[in-house]
Amino acid sequence: MNLPAKPAVKRIHPIVVTGGAGFIGSNLADRLAAEGEHVVVFDALARPGVERNLAWLKRRHPRLVSESIGDVRDRTAVDESLAGAKAVFHFAAQVAVTTSLADPCLDFEVNLAGTFNVLDTLRRHIAPVPLIFASTNKVYGDLADVALEKHDAKFLPRDPAVGAKGFGEDRPLDFRTPYGCSKGAADQYVLDYARSFGMPAAVMRMSCIYGPRQMGSEDQGWVAHFVKCALAHEPINVYGDGCQVRDVLFVADAVASYIAAWRQIGRISGRAFNLGGGPENAVSLLELIRHIESVLGEPVALRFEDWRAGDQRYYVSDPSAVRAALSLPPPTPWREGIAALVRWLREEDAASWPVQRNSVSAMRSAEALS
């Protein structure tokens, strides 16, 4: 049995990142340690490839990064790993809609019961511990009521105001699929613990985050998955017609937002924010694929498959609230961010990695990482 991690210096109160070996979690842990913070990575290491991220963190910050291998469904492991924490960033999750449909029980246990374990552990701490929770734009459902039309191989809203600003936090919640229900319910639990118990907590409803250390699969991390397929000269499976539009946000910008939220938790506690690249970083799947082709200088093979349950034809965040509340700078332009991702994947020799396709057996292994 793995013992709970202890900071390198006794009596130091660490920052705990659940799911800290995952894509965003490892980038966040790296940034915190670079700023001198002691970080505990609490992770089940269930998702293929994330052990690379943990090894990378420990090489870079041997005195500041500790590990605690455990599962958020294990209340004892959560209690032990969060003991003495001065802040918690909660990324540990089942991350794919497809997995939730194949195994809704696992999805519920990891995303909702696991988040409850984190919340109730922190509720019983004597001193308030800030919690920043990683939620999702899927809490807004499939947005089927939004009238769309196609322009240049991308869906766009007929309402020009929506196209200019994106969706704000006033958009009604509409949980669809087990994943939407589990993440949405966890999102609401976090906000209610802030109301009911005075917990200093906030929620980030993320759009598509991408960048270095993203392993990428068909079910989660589609931007990196597309680039990996292209580098490996393998076809990209496109579910739907490829005209779906998302606002993409470079991971360094997402990390800066999370750190700013923690440092300003006294002003934003009890609030949920839409975190994404905004209209200036909105791109369709086909548009992104064409850009990858131009960067690599070669065509990419495509295979078109049926639409997947709960897939939003168009989702673009209105990030004005989070940018104003946290005084965030403009985000990285998406073409610049894609170039950085391509450089990292080439340096990591990602073309030699197995491309993760949509399979129930593979999905069931992704139990506790975001």
Whether 344 contacts 212, CB under 8 Å = yes
Give mean pLDDT, residues 218-229.
90
Beta-ladder partners of 305:
239
Burial letters 5-44, b for 16+ CB under 10 A, else e: bebeeeeeebbbbbbbbbbbbbbbbbbbbeeebbbbbbbb
* 179 counts as catalytic: yes
Angle at 167 between CA 165 and CA 169, to 5 degrees: 120
Looking at the predicted structure, is the pLDDT value of residue 241 above 70? yes
Looking at the predicted structure, is the pLDDT value of residue 368 above 70? no
Q: 317 — phi, psi (to 5°)?
A: -70, 145
Looking at the predicted structure, is the pLDDT value of residue 318 above 90? yes
Residue with tokens 């809704």: 104
Looking at the predicted structure, is the pLDDT value of residue 362 above 90? no
By percentage, how much of the chain surpasses pLDDT 70?
91
Q: What is the pLDDT of residues 35-62, one digit of tens each?
A: 999 999 999 999 888 999 999 999 999 9
Give mean pLDDT, residues 341-348.
93
Average pLDDT of the chain is 92
Looking at the predicted structure, is the pLDDT value of residue 360 above 50? no
Q: What is the pLDDT of residues 254-272, one digit of tens each?
A: 999 999 999 999 999 999 9
In-domain check, residue 3: no
Catalytic entry in 179, 189, 210, 239: 179
What local confidence, expressed as pLDDT, does residue 8 receive? Answer: 47
Q: pLDDT band at 153, cuts 50/70/90?
A: confident
What local confidence, expressed as pLDDT, does residue 353 receive? Answer: 60
In-domain check, residue 314: yes
What local confidence, expressed as pLDDT, does residue 63 receive? Answer: 97
Q: pLDDT band at 169, cuts 50/70/90?
A: very high
DSSP 8-state assignment for residue 167: B
Looking at the predicted structure, is the pLDDT value of residue 96 above 60? yes
Whether 170 contacts 218, CB under 8 Å = no
In-domain check, residue 368: no
Looking at the predicted structure, is the pLDDT value of residue 364 above 80? no
Longest dimension (CA), the chain: 59
In-domain check, residue 158: yes
What local confidence, expressed as pLDDT, does residue 345 receive? Answer: 93
Q: What CATH number has the domain bearing residue 221?
A: 3.40.50.720
Looking at the predicted structure, is the pLDDT value of residue 164 above 80? yes
In-domain check, residue 7: no
What local confidence, expressed as pLDDT, does residue 139 receive? Answer: 97
Q: pLDDT band at 218, cuts 50/70/90?
A: confident
Q: What are the structure tokens assigned to 129, written together?
A: 């511990």
What local confidence, expressed as pLDDT, does residue 369 receive? Answer: 30
Question: Taking Cα atoms as reference points, which of 180, 364, 187 lies closest to residue 273?
Answer: 187
In-domain check, residue 131: yes
- The side-by-side arrangement of strands in the sheet containing 272-275 is 65-69, 39-43, 15-18, 87-90, 131-136, 201-206, 272-275
Give mean pLDDT, residues 296-311.
92
Number of domains forming the structure of the chain? 1
In-domain check, residue 370: no
Give mean pLDDT, residues 99-120.
97
CA torsion angle 136 77 263 318 (round to 10): 0
Give mean pLDDT, residues 282-303.
96
Instruction: Provide the domain limits for residue 319.
Output: 15-363
Q: pLDDT band at 361, cuts 50/70/90?
A: very low
Q: pLDDT band at 367, cuts 50/70/90?
A: very low
- Give dist(CA 300, CA 320) in Å, integer: 35
Looking at this protein, which amino acid is placed at residue 189? Y
What local confidence, expressed as pLDDT, does residue 358 receive? Answer: 59
In-domain check, residue 5: no
The reported pTM is 0.92
- Determine the length of the chain: 370
